[in-house]
């Protein structure tokens, strides 16, 4: 839980609220719902060695990304969301909206804002930052078969919030391959 709380603290909720024209309470509710949803989706994608290796390569591209709202690449965020949830994206949006105090439309707008922040945070956790990330990338890729990124995501997904999302919000949505 502490890990997710730290990640939530990195997210510019006030700026997201302003950008989307919603109040901060709604933005926080949506972020608190989509955050473990994204983590659960990433965890499902990284549950096998091939998926973990692909995620680690993606993380290498996000080591120095900013979390400032003006710096977030929403197009990249849309690609991340589409890759993580695939054809189940709309069902995930609906399930997340049902769990929060906001509409599916707001969830759909917040997902591509939060997804790059999650990847930047994971990149920092897993690879470190800057030059260190480039130097350790090969070593981390070798570790992928013995846990690596899956361990970090698994720890987050096994938190109370992660279990709530996996169990009550997503149900069986992420059980299969995209």
Give the pLDDT band (50/70/90) at residue 153: low
Sequence ranges of the domains in the chain: 2-169
pLDDT interval class at 145 (50, 70, 90): very low
Residues 84 and 45: beta-carbon distance below 8 Å:
yes
Task: Specify whether the CB–CB gap between 67 and 11 falls below 8 A.
Answer: yes
CB 40 within 8 A of CB 166: yes
Query: What is the C-alpha to C-alpha distance for residues 135 and 147, in angstroms, rounded to an integer?
Result: 19
> What is the model's pTM?
0.77
d(CA 147, CA 145): 6
Cβ neighbors of 6 (< 8 A, separation 6 or more) are: none
At residue 59, the pLDDT reads 87
Token look-up 């990433």 returns 42
Instruction: Name the burial class of residue 132, with classes exposed (0-12), middle (13-18) and buried (19+) by CB atoms within 10 angstroms of its CB.
Output: exposed
């Amino acid at each position: 839980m502490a890990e997710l709380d730290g990640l939530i603290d990195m997210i510019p909720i006030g700026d997201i609220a302003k950008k989307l024209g919603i109040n901060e309470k709604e933005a926080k509710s949506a972020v608190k719902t989509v955050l473990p949803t994204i983590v659960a989706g990433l965890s499902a994608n990284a549950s096998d060695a091939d998926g973990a290796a692909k995620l680690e390569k993606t993380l290498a591209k996000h080591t120095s990304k900013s979390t400032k709202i003006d710096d977030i690449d929403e197009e990249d965020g849309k690609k991340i969301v589409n890759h993580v949830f695939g054809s189940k994206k709309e069902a995930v949006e609906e399930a997340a909206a049902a769990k929060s105090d906001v509409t599916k439309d707001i969830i759909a707008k917040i997902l591509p804002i939060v997804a790059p922040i999650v990847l930047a945070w994971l990149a920092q956790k897993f690879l470190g930052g800057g030059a260190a990330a480039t130097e350790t990338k090969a070593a981390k890729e070798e570790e992928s078969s013995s846990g690596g990124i899956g361990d970090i995501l698994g720890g987050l997904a096994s938190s109370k919030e992660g279990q709530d999302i996996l169990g009550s919000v997503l149900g069986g949505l992420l059980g299969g391959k995209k």
